[in-house]
Amino acid sequence: MKFGLMVNEGPYTHQASDTAYKFATAALEKGHQIHRVFFYHDGVNNATRLTEPPQDDRHIVNRWSKLAEQHGIDLVVCVAAALRRGIKDEILAKGFRISGLGQLVESGIQADRLVVFGD
């Protein structure tokens, strides 16, 4: 099965990003595909390379980057939501790219299921 994911909440303030990441890794382990992860609303904060959690905490942004690199997953950040929060191309972490809502629509069409994490 091919999944599209949508993450609407930022890291460290809501469980949505952690849950989406764990869902993605579990799906991949079971042989499913992740077509795209679309970060929307406060979820765009998952994409900034400026995030620096304490050494003993998980680095959510790096987790997404590594997952995308290992499995060829498209990590898309909503342009309007990103700009509202001061996130531009130059501060994106590795593997993330900025694009529009059309990428979310396309993911909904191409994936068998679109799973939403967060409000």
- Are 44 and 9 a contacting pair, CB within 8 Å? no
pLDDT of residue 94: 97
> 73-87 pLDDT, tens per residue?
999 999 999 999 999
Mind listing the pLDDT tens digit for each residue in 89-103?
A: 999 999 999 999 999
Local confidence band at 104 (pLDDT 50, 70, 90 cut-offs): very high
- pTM score, two decimals? 0.96
Residues 6+ apart with CB under 8 A from 39: 6, 7, 46, 47, 75, 76, 77, 78, 81, 96
pLDDT tens per residue across span 14-40: 999 999 999 999 999 999 999 999 999
Distance CA 14, CA 68 (A): 21
Place of tokens 């970060």: 39
- Domains of the chain and any CATH numbers: 2-117 (3.40.1260.10)
> For residue 90, what pLDDT is reported?
96
pLDDT of residue 33: 98
Report whether 95 contacts 69 (CB < 8 A): yes
Catalytic residues: 78
